[in-house]
Amino acid sequence: MTAIEIVGHRGAAGEAPENTLAGFAHARSIGVAGVEFDVRLSGDSQLVVIHDATVDRTTYSSGTVAELDAAEMAAMDARRTCPSWPEPTGIPTLSEALDIISSFEAIQFEIKSDAAERLERVAEGLVTEIRARSLERQASVTSFDPVAIELVRRIAPDLSCAFISRPTDPEAVETALRLGCTQLNLHLYRETSADLVRSAHDAGLRVGGGPCDTIEDLECAIAWSMDSVTSDNPSLLLKHLATA
């Protein structure tokens, strides 16, 4: 079977609490080569790992990330999306997450949209962490927000970046190239086409995409010659690749 990189989405969001230390440890234990996660700025200007702008969906608490301190979020129980998980696990800082994640072969840091001034602080802090830990080889900074990519490219022009496009975006390849990206990540890639993947490859871009949570999703990505996929259920995909 054609080689394709399986990237754990938010750690392994369908198998363990998403974007948590427990989730990242689980992803590492099952042998995922790469991991993807989200970065935001807390109320006390720390980089924290959480997808949503609020803590309501993933924890049993409520509040806005931009108004909460990192210590407050660390003390929350972030098992709401995975209530069967045996032990509480909070919302980690980026530094705490990287203590576990640094050993992965590929690390995708997704910057979530925010006000321009806050995005600049996220970009600066993220690049500082990547450089301090010598993660440039493994790291790729991704975002739906072109401004976030532009900020990272200005600070660290040699760092790999990936633009995340939506299936309705007719200029996905062009935008990725304009931003100086090395990869195009296709959100809801099965709503796009093999022609789009081919166009991106012809332009010299690697192509990733998600969600890839079933064998059918994986077979589609392989048929389209995609380079990587992000999955909430990486164990399923790894098992399939190992037995195919």
Whole-Å CA distances, 156 to 3, 85, 128, 159, 164: 30, 38, 10, 6, 19
Q: For residue 244, what pLDDT is reported? A: 81
Question: What H or E segment, with its residue span, contains residue 38?
Answer: strand 34-41
pLDDT at position 2 is 59
Answer for the pair 32, 238: CB distance below 8 angstroms, yes or no: yes
How far, in Å, CA of 30 to CA of 234, rounded?
Answer: 8
Q: Across 76-121, where does the E strand assignment appear? A: 106-111
Grouped pLDDT means (10 residues each) for the chain, 244 residues: 88 98 98 96 98 98 98 98 97 98 96 96 98 98 98 98 97 98 98 98 98 98 98 98 91
**Ordered domains of the chain (ranges, CATH):** 5-36+108-243 (3.20.20.190)
Question: Distance between CA 156 and CA 227 in Å, rounded?
Answer: 24
